[in-house]
Structure 1
């Protein structure tokens, strides 16, 4: 993938993560944070398999999905 596009994905990930700290609604926080984490996983994969970026963000993705799914059932 084009390195410039990969950098933009990384910047977008950062914006989504910061935005998730600004929001107040927990569901919106989780969704925006999930988008940011997915962007960071994609960034880590296409930037040379950056495992210190991929692993924690992948785990956070799973945590966010779990909480979003269990919150809908309540």
Structure 2
């Protein structure tokens, strides 16, 4: 697997912070974020159970431009 780095949260110290990447093999977005608190997880489960293989994370709104860029990269390189 090769991950293309897009951006880290500019408002954090540069380590252990939300990060946006794109998997260059299949164009999936890979997001690293803060673990959601139990209340947020409970609210998300109203839309369906949270499987063991999934996690709820939080990405700050200031990262929207990085997510847009990652979407553009993924869209350009998506395997069709």
Give the shorter-chain TM-score range: 0.3 to 0.5
> Bigger radius of gyration, 1 or 2?
2
Larger strand proportion of the pair: 2
Q: TM-score when scaled to structure 1?
A: 0.36
Q: TM-score when scaled to structure 2?
A: 0.34
Larger helix proportion of the pair: 1
